[in-house]
Structure 1
Amino acid sequence: MTWERELEELRKREEFANQMGGPEKVGRQHSRGKMDARARLAELCDDGTFREIGKIAGKGHYDDDGNLTGVTPAPFLFGKALINGRPVVATADDFTIRGGAADAGISRKMVQAEKMAHELKLPIIRMIDGTGGGGSVKTLEQIGATYIPAVPGWGDVVQNLDTVPVVALALGPTAGLGAARTVASHYSIMVRGLSQIFAAGPAVVDGLGDAYKGPADHQQAKEDLGGSEIHTRNGVVDDEVGSEAEAFARARHFLSFMPEHVGQLARRSLCTDPVHRREDALIDLVPRDAKAVYSMRRCMEMVFDQGTVFEIGKNWGRACITALARLDGWPVAVLASDPSYLGGSWEAKTSEKVERFIKLADQFRLPVVHLVDNPGFMIGREAEMAGTIRYGVQAMNAVYKATVPLASIVLRRAYGIAGSAMSNAERFQYRYCWPSGDWGSLPIAGGLEVAYKSDLEAAEDPAAELEAIRARLDKVTSPFRSAERFNVEDIIDPRDTRPLLCEFADLAWRKLAAEA
């Protein structure tokens, strides 16, 4: 006697699960330009490596004799998989079943996925498409009562943020808990035109009498309320991409820089880019005109291992570029001023971005390289209204609290409190300065006429006197004067930047390995 009958029932139930919400709803999902949950898992993970857990969980349907006639699967799939050959927990909401709402499924599946990640120390990827929360108003009538809101397993979500890399991909309209699950991550992505994020959707907003009145077109209303153009520019989500395939590729790329959990070191990759590569174009990258801009991204391409710069948060906090990259194969976190936006001045959003990124680097033990051209915190009434100094100090505090090695390269300006936030001055300063360096407590141009007001008023020719003062101060502000007093450790030929940073990366990872 065998168990073939039971195995046949298992296969039958698995086939019901494979049908998801049924041909009509799956077809509707595809007609919207969206992949279904199972296709997404297959695309994200290494070929054939996804092993589903709880596949047959759902709501069974039976005839009067108690025989199974069908199963509505739980609208949440998860399991163990490999990404880049390394184990992960991969999850996906199934929008074809009640719009991915958790009330239509078994909440324990979602909880178990989160627990699996931090208990087994595996990165977790959430592919979010739907509310993922308590469901609809209609659910309350079915229950027969209302309830005080609570999110089962949210403590596990919080623990994962402290334990393992968490990646969230918003792949459709995500409201309520779905939006919260997206934001509760280390790296998040939206697909342009496909993803929207909101605390509540347009119908709920209008129903509650909010001033927002979206367009009649439902899709456009969702875009106007919470599209990627909004949330990748306010910092809610890190990046936007043009397709689901691109989202999967970026998720895999991000994880390639990360360790599998806190306490494990990230991995070095094979590097074919010569350590001693010296780019002649670096010599004249920084213009002599102090007001002229240049491309910091071009500098990064010439300094880091070719093809390894992975920028994060390009569309928000734009005065500072944040990226992951490699030096001689070693992964590093990069902060880089962008003089093409606000002259590189840190406003509130940039400071918020820097704080978050430094905390990520410190948590996952990635050495930091800071390419500095910072004229200070943004000034003016709007900057004061935004609370810039508070956000700026929080960014500076994050730099000072970080314990990973940090190297800074001062390309040009470093002024005021923001300039001093380039590194922790209480520690050994692994720092190099280019001959174009210009620093101080405040820009000379901003205080010259005030400081020499009486001299200028007494001069027969104030304009000539002003030029004479400028000429004297130009000599005083030479970076070589700072180097004489060892206020600057080393002034270097810009072409030596890559070799010196590769040396830093080697020493930094030597230190991190000794601590592990």
Structure 2
Amino acid sequence: MVWEPELAERARRAELAAQLGGPEKVARQRAAGRLTVRERIDGLLDPGSFREIGGLAGRGTYDENGELTDFSPVNLVVGTGRIDGRKIVVRADDFTVRGGSADAGNLAKTAYPEQLAHEMRHPLVRLIEGSGGGGSVKMLEDHGFTYVPVNPGWDHVVANLSTVPVVSACVGPVAGLGAALAVTSHLTLLVDKTAQLFVAGPPVVRYATGEDVTKEELGGASIHRRSGAVDLVVSSEIAAFAAVRAFLSYLPTSVYHLPPVIEGTDDPDRREESLVSLVPRDRRQPYKIAPLLDAVFDAGSVFRYAGFGGSLVTALARLDGHPVGVVATDPYKGATLTAQGADALTRLADLCETFHLPLVSLTDQSGMVIGTAGERSAAIRHGARAVAAIYQAKVPMAEVIVRRVFGVGGAGQVNRHRLVRRWAWPSGDWGSLPVEGGLEAAYRAELEAAPDRAAERARILERLDAVRSPFRTAERFGVEDIIDPARTRGLLCDWVHDAYDLLPPLIGPPAFGPRP
């Protein structure tokens, strides 16, 4: 063979690259309870589907005759593979080489997978561990110069949010540019106990702020379950891979395609008699949200989304095999829309609009959170931003009013100025303000003048109860239908077929691209 020496040299370099950071660094990685970069790729992708790109990039050491004596690979593995048969782009950090910190000479490979995903319109999965940036200040001495920082490939990083599904999994300590990449995604995962996410690590924080904290205290799961920086905390790297695969199953390959519809295996007309008694008559008594979701959507199809939303529940699910976005309320966590809940709603609305998923609201919303805590968190601004996202979305929407619809928060959970297919349960209760709280302001003079304030309040409440019936609203066509809750699934499954007929004109980039 004419080129046999060169092919042998290529094989030798590939073998050296496969050793990652060396046996000692690999052993340290595993001792920390974390997989190596190639084990992660194998765990994520369909078996045998990985095709590496740039595997020969790295640093060679040469003798006086110019012969290669050693080779250290770049600490970023890039390539294409398949998840459930669909091609994706994967980029994965190798923490065994320089702790996952890229050097300034690696900008081209760092940017390449972002550009590849964008221009070939493949979903992108990032397995992030390390800083992903310029690395240690020791590089000043190593290189003899410094440089003006640049976020490599960030034009494509941002453009990808409006083009292809992007998922980032924090599978170890993640800082700096790596942290920015992690949150610039449609789904951000954090592995409990073995992964942390922060802008700067403990040594830098200690010097800059005086805080003496561990990595876990600074950016572990206890911080990020509710911070909003990550969508979901998962129990292991294997669980993270499963979540990536599940999430992508609801989304199209790019905005130039429709969501993947699968053959339904759950009866679309299934009645769920348990829903008739789900909502208690006592308006102050909560009910569990999981049985409602399981009863309405295809069996086993509910994927919880932005987990930081508190009482505001977001999810992806299927109706007769058709992917949809879902917004609901967990009454055990509250009924008001907080700043965190509003951010979760914005995130879901942007995801649905970007990837053409119809949106289903199971509404039980008593309005924006009130009180000093709500004001300190600027809940009204976050809430208004969520309402704007809902109003900017053009995807079909359906609403089932389960119980409450009050105030700005309730009014904005769907776009009430569009044709939204809507049904109400007999437990529906709505208005500008909840009667129980609003009467204190509206009837203050009568209450203050009454010899028995409690008795007077009870009499006023009895009068108001007589006219708050949802049937009074239905008489005026203020709500289109009041239904038997057991019929909810069948009605939504019928609607979703119509909704998907409306989607083709929406194919392409969204008018309002999502932001991190």
Same fold (TM over 0.5): yes
What is the CA deviation profile of residues 371-406 of structure 1, one whole-angstrom value per residue up to 9, with x for unaligned ones?
111111000011111111111111111111100001
Between the aligned partners of 2:456 and 2:281, the Cα distance in structure 1 is 23
5 Å-filtered alignment, 1:380-391, equals 380-391=371-382
**Equivalent residue for 1:356, pick from 324, 337, 347:** 347
What is the CA deviation profile of residues 143-168 of structure 1, one whole-angstrom value per residue up to 9, with x for unaligned ones?
22332211221111111112110000
Between the aligned partners of 1:459 and 1:131, the Cα distance in structure 2 is 67
What is the CA deviation profile of residues 330-355 of structure 1, one whole-angstrom value per residue up to 9, with x for unaligned ones?
0000000111112x100111111111
Task: Give, in angstroms, the shift of residue 426 of structure 1.
Answer: 1.4
Between the aligned partners of 2:440 and 2:13, the Cα distance in structure 1 is 81
| Compared CA separation, residues 112 and 224, structure 1 to 2 (3 A) | same
What's 1:400 paired with? 391
| Compared CA separation, residues 23 and 460, structure 1 to 2 (3 A) | closer
The code of the aligned residue for 2:464 comes to: L
Q: Secondary structure at the match of 2:331?
A: coil
| Compared CA separation, residues 63 and 461, structure 1 to 2 (3 A) | closer
**Equivalent residue for 1:432, pick from 387, 406, 423:** 423
Q: Secondary structure at the match of 2:360?
A: strand
> Is contact 1:174-1:196 (8 Å) kept?
yes
Between the aligned partners of 1:367 and 1:18, the Cα distance in structure 2 is 45
> Is contact 1:98-1:104 (8 Å) kept?
no
What's 1:242 paired with? 235
5 Å-filtered alignment, 1:75-94, equals 75-94=75-94
Question: Structure 1 residue 100 and structure 2 residue 100: aligned?
Answer: yes
> Is contact 2:423-2:481 (8 Å) kept?
yes
Between the aligned partners of 1:107 and 1:306, the Cα distance in structure 2 is 45
Task: Give, in angstroms, the shift of residue 457 of structure 1.
Answer: 5.2
5 Å-filtered alignment, 1:189-200, equals 189-200=189-200
What is the CA deviation profile of residues 191-219 of structure 1, one whole-angstrom value per residue up to 9, with x for unaligned ones?
111001111100111122x13112xxxxx
Between the aligned partners of 2:387 and 2:372, the Cα distance in structure 1 is 22
| Compared CA separation, residues 390 and 514, structure 1 to 2 (3 A) | closer
What's 1:370 paired with? 361
5 Å-filtered alignment, 1:12-23, equals 12-23=12-23
What's 2:250 paired with? 257
Between the aligned partners of 2:333 and 2:450, the Cα distance in structure 1 is 38
Question: Structure 1 residue 175 and structure 2 residue 175: aligned?
Answer: yes
Further displaced range: 40-49 or 226-235? 226-235
What's 1:55 paired with? 55
Between the aligned partners of 1:138 and 1:455, the Cα distance in structure 2 is 75
What's 1:501 paired with? 492
Question: Structure 1 residue 225 and structure 2 residue 224: aligned?
Answer: no
Between the aligned partners of 1:272 and 1:173, the Cα distance in structure 2 is 41
Further displaced range: 150-159 or 77-86? 150-159
Further displaced range: 461-470 or 483-492? 461-470
> Is contact 2:356-2:506 (8 Å) kept?
no
Q: Secondary structure at the match of 1:340?
A: helix
Between the aligned partners of 2:441 and 2:499, the Cα distance in structure 1 is 44
Task: Give, in angstroms, the shift of residue 460 of structure 1.
Answer: 6.1
Q: Secondary structure at the match of 1:102?
A: coil
What is the CA deviation profile of residues 440-489 of structure 1, one whole-angstrom value per residue up to 9, with x for unaligned ones?
00011112243234444555655444333222211100000000000011
> Is contact 1:75-1:104 (8 Å) kept?
no
Further displaced range: 199-208 or 45-54? 199-208
What is the CA deviation profile of residues 130-189 of structure 1, one whole-angstrom value per residue up to 9, with x for unaligned ones?
111001011012222332211221111111112110000111111111111111111011
Between the aligned partners of 1:262 and 1:479, the Cα distance in structure 2 is 40
The code of the aligned residue for 1:162 comes to: S
Q: Secondary structure at the match of 1:129?
A: strand
Between the aligned partners of 2:357 and 2:241, the Cα distance in structure 1 is 23
| Compared CA separation, residues 79 and 465, structure 1 to 2 (3 A) | same
The code of the aligned residue for 2:319 comes to: L
What is the CA deviation profile of residues 70-123 of structure 1, one whole-angstrom value per residue up to 9, with x for unaligned ones?
210010011111011000001110111001111176221121111100000000
5 Å-filtered alignment, 1:70-469, equals 70-103=70-103, 106-208=106-208, 210-214=209-213, 221-314=214-307, 316-342=308-334, 344-456=335-447, 462-469=453-460
| Compared CA separation, residues 8 and 510, structure 1 to 2 (3 A) | same
Between the aligned partners of 1:23 and 1:467, the Cα distance in structure 2 is 76
Task: Give, in angstroms, the shift of residue 247 of structure 1.
Answer: 0.4
TM-score using structure 1 length: 0.96
> Is contact 1:407-1:431 (8 Å) kept?
yes
The code of the aligned residue for 2:411 comes to: S
| Compared CA separation, residues 293 and 59, structure 1 to 2 (3 A) | same
What's 1:482 paired with? 473
> Is contact 1:97-1:104 (8 Å) kept?
no
Further displaced range: 44-53 or 260-269? 260-269
Between the aligned partners of 1:138 and 1:459, the Cα distance in structure 2 is 78
What's 2:513 paired with? none
The code of the aligned residue for 1:212 comes to: E
| Compared CA separation, residues 453 and 231, structure 1 to 2 (3 A) | closer
Task: Give, in angstroms, the shift of residue 312 of structure 1.
Answer: 1.3
| Compared CA separation, residues 434 and 24, structure 1 to 2 (3 A) | same
What's 2:511 paired with? none
| Compared CA separation, residues 35 and 497, structure 1 to 2 (3 A) | same
The code of the aligned residue for 1:286 comes to: V
Q: For CA contacts below 8 A with separation 6 or more, give which structure has more relative contact order.
A: 2
The code of the aligned residue for 1:211 comes to: G
| Compared CA separation, residues 488 and 80, structure 1 to 2 (3 A) | same
TM-score using structure 2 length: 0.96
The code of the aligned residue for 2:314 comes to: T
Between the aligned partners of 1:298 and 1:491, the Cα distance in structure 2 is 21
| Compared CA separation, residues 25 and 489, structure 1 to 2 (3 A) | same
Task: Give, in angstroms, the shift of residue 497 of structure 1.
Answer: 0.4
Between the aligned partners of 1:6 and 1:454, the Cα distance in structure 2 is 94
Task: Give, in angstroms, the shift of residue 508 of structure 1.
Answer: 0.5
Between the aligned partners of 1:251 and 1:88, the Cα distance in structure 2 is 12
Q: Aligned-residue CA RMSD in angstroms?
A: 1.4
Percent of residue pairs bearing the same amino acid type: 49
> Is contact 1:335-1:354 (8 Å) kept?
yes
The code of the aligned residue for 2:71 comes to: V
Q: How many residues align?
A: 507
Q: Secondary structure at the match of 1:171?
A: strand
> Is contact 2:396-2:420 (8 Å) kept?
no
Between the aligned partners of 1:318 and 1:22, the Cα distance in structure 2 is 44
Between the aligned partners of 2:217 and 2:293, the Cα distance in structure 1 is 35
